Amino acid sequence: MTLCFATNNPNKVKEIQALLGDAFSLQSLAQIGCTETLAEDQDTIAGNSLQKAQYVFETYHVPCFADDTGLEVTALGGAPGVYSARYAGPQCNADDNIARLLHELEGKADKSALFRTVITLITQAGMHQFEGVLAGSILPEKKGTNGFGYDPVFVPEGTTETLAEMELQKKNQISHRAMAFRKLERFLKQRA
């Protein structure tokens, strides 16, 4: 089965293709001819995921799924949350976002956080959403070079490594994204 994964992030495509295996073939936005930036202006992670998938399905007429992920830090009232990718501003990168996060957490004792991923699948048969949540805590400095986003400062519960210190195979066993994609995979295989 061929599906569009509504992203142009090659790290995400690689990570998810490894999870889904050979039964599914993923195409990126570029591969279906979508060159525009997809809007992410909803108030929730689930809303952003739905917005992206719906746009691709309605505009390009291909079965697709989109994900959105947010880091929810307890001491910051759930921030950055839906604004995780642009926490330090629209033109900023992951290093800028991490720097702002660590600055905001200075002097706060509670470093607990959740990574939340919501995937929206839209096909001719309808729309379905799948969620994965990973609990952990934020380190005061970056560790590791794997992964992307906030991975270098996020240590999952029950481990001593950040997500950026883990090999991809290990990360794919426990990550929020992996949890959500395993739910998507089970759903797709039941209907294949």
- pLDDT tens readout for residues 26-35: 999 999 999 9
More confident residue, 188 or 164: 164
Task: Specify the pLDDT at position 175.
Answer: 92
- The yes-or-no verdict on residue 24 having pLDDT over 90 is no
Task: Specify the pLDDT at position 9.
Answer: 81
In percent, how much of the chain has pLDDT > 90? 74
Kindly state the average pLDDT of the residues 126-154: 96
Q: Does the reported pTM lie above 0.85? A: yes
Confidence of residue 156 (pLDDT cuts 50, 70, 90): very high
Task: Specify the pLDDT at position 178.
Answer: 87
CATH number at residue 105: 3.90.950.10
Kindly state the average pLDDT of the residues 106-115: 97
How many domains, in total, are found in the chain? 1
CA 34 and chain centroid, separation: 20
Dist. CA 171–CA 161, nearest whole Å: 10
- The yes-or-no verdict on residue 22 having pLDDT over 70 is yes
Residues with catalytic roles? 68
Q: Which domain holds residue 57?
A: 2-191
Kindly state the average pLDDT of the residues 90-100: 93
Cβ atoms of 50 and 120 within 8 Å: the answer is yes
- The yes-or-no verdict on residue 192 having pLDDT over 70 is no
Task: Specify the pLDDT at position 15.
Answer: 74
Residue partners of 81: CB distance under 8 A and separation at least 6: 45, 70, 71, 72
- The yes-or-no verdict on residue 96 having pLDDT over 70 is yes
Q: What is the DSSP pairing of strand 2-5 with strand 112-123? A: unpaired
Residue 56 to residues 34, 50, 83, 148: CA-CA distances in angstroms? Answer: 8, 10, 21, 24
| Residue in the block written with tokens 């976002």 | 97
